[in-house]
């Protein structure tokens, strides 16, 4: 059983492993150990269909369905991730890390990084990849609170929990003074959408519904301000990222 973070927890550095994290070893820069077979899809886990690598879409109440780039989730970090990775110049925690491509890439760069996810499949995929990962809800106590240099909310994870203001306030509590929160914004949603969502697979099967939010560029300033943050800079190409600091 994982224990809550206590006063003795420290921000992980190279070669350290906070309590409750899965052990790993690396060979030639790749996750060691047999890959094993993917477990059957668990429809009780909202994101399991996507994490299993199936083509899927996000269905939202009152909004068009949008395809999800599950191939990017499961691949190694690519060129489109470079801005996010370059922005992480110190210990970084990736909230909703999924299969762990960003955590693994930061570790390869020598940047201490920790992934956090509450999906069993994501944790298994991170472990095989060699990413340092904690199986926990992002709102639960985490190691190094108030001492992280950066918090990552990539791949739309600013929508976790359906309340981006609450999530950004949580991220603000995780970073040290002068730290930053790095978020990926929606290119298809001009403002803010909040509601119930579910992920549908290619055969029409769906995971259970969950509260979610989608934040577009037009909503960033208002959402950030309500959370006690301010935009520092933005990157706009095929994907859109923003770096936020304490207001």
Q: How far apart are CA 182 and CA 154, in angstroms?
A: 7
Q: Is 206 a domain residue?
A: yes
Q: Is 197 a domain residue?
A: yes
Is the pLDDT score of 12 beyond 80? no
Q: Is 104 a domain residue?
A: yes
Full domain range(s) for residue 123: 43-246
Q: Is 31 a domain residue?
A: no
Is the pLDDT score of 22 beyond 50? no
- Per residue in 64-119, pLDDT (tens digit) is 999 999 999 999 999 999 999 999 999 999 999 999 999 999 999 999 999 999 99
pTM for the full predicted model: 0.84
Q: Is 191 a domain residue?
A: yes
User: Is 199 exposed, middle or buried, given 0-12, 13-18 or 19+ CB atoms closer than 10 A?
Assistant: buried
Q: Is 238 a domain residue?
A: yes
What was the pLDDT predicted at 33? 31
Is the pLDDT score of 9 beyond 60? no
Q: How large a percentage of the chain has pLDDT more than 90?
A: 76
Q: Is 13 a domain residue?
A: no
Residue 35 — very low, low, confident or very high, per pLDDT cuts 50/70/90? Answer: very low
User: CA dihedral defined by 239, 177, 142, 15, rounded to 10 degrees?
Assistant: 90
CATH code of 170's domain: 3.40.50.150
Q: How far apart are CA 2 and CA 140, in angstroms?
A: 11
Q: How many domains does the chain have?
A: 1
- Per residue in 214-239, pLDDT (tens digit) is 999 999 999 999 999 999 999 999 99
What was the pLDDT predicted at 203? 87
Q: How large a percentage of the chain has pLDDT more than 70?
A: 85
What was the pLDDT predicted at 43? 80
- On whether the CB atoms of residues 90 and 149 are closer than 8 A, the answer is yes
Is the pLDDT score of 126 beyond 70? yes
Q: Is 56 a domain residue?
A: yes
Residue 38 — very low, low, confident or very high, per pLDDT cuts 50/70/90? Answer: low
Between the alpha carbon of residue 19 and those of residues 2, 6, 135, the distances in Å are: 8, 10, 11
Segment 157-173 mean pLDDT = 98
Computed over every residue of the chain, the mean pLDDT equals 86
- Per residue in 184-208, pLDDT (tens digit) is 999 999 999 999 999 999 988 898 9
């Amino acid at each position: 059983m994982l224990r809550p973070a206590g006063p003795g927890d420290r921000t992980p550095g190279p070669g350290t492993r906070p309590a409750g994290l899965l052990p790993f070893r690396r060979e030639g820069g790749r996750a060691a150990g047999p890959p094993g077979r993917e477990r059957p899809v668990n429809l009780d886990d909202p994101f399991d269909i996507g994490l299993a690598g199936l083509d899927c879409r996000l269905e939202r109440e009152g909004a068009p369905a949008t395809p999800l780039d599950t191939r990017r989730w499961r691949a190694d970090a690519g060129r489109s991730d470079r801005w996010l990775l370059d922005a992480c110049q110190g210990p970084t925690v990736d909230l909703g890390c999924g299969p762990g491509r960003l955590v693994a890439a930061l570790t390869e760069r020598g940047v201490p990084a920790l992934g956090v996810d509450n999906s069993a499949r994501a944790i298994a995929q991170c472990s095989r990849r060699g990413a340092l990962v904690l199986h926990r809800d992002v709102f639960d106590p985490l190691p190094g609170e108030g001492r992280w240099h950066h918090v990552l909310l990539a791949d739309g994870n600013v929508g976790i929990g359906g309340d981006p203001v609450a999530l950004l306030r949580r991220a603000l509590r995780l970073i040290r003074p002068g730290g930053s929160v790095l978020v990926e914004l929606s290119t298809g949603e001009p403002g803010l959408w909040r509601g119930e969502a579910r992920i549908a697979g290619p055969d029409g099967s769906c995971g259970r519904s969950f509260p979610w939010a989608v934040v577009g560029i037009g909503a960033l300033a208002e959402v950030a301000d309500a959370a006690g943050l301010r935009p520092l800079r933005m990157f706009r190409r095929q994907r859109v990222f923003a770096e936020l600091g304490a207001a």
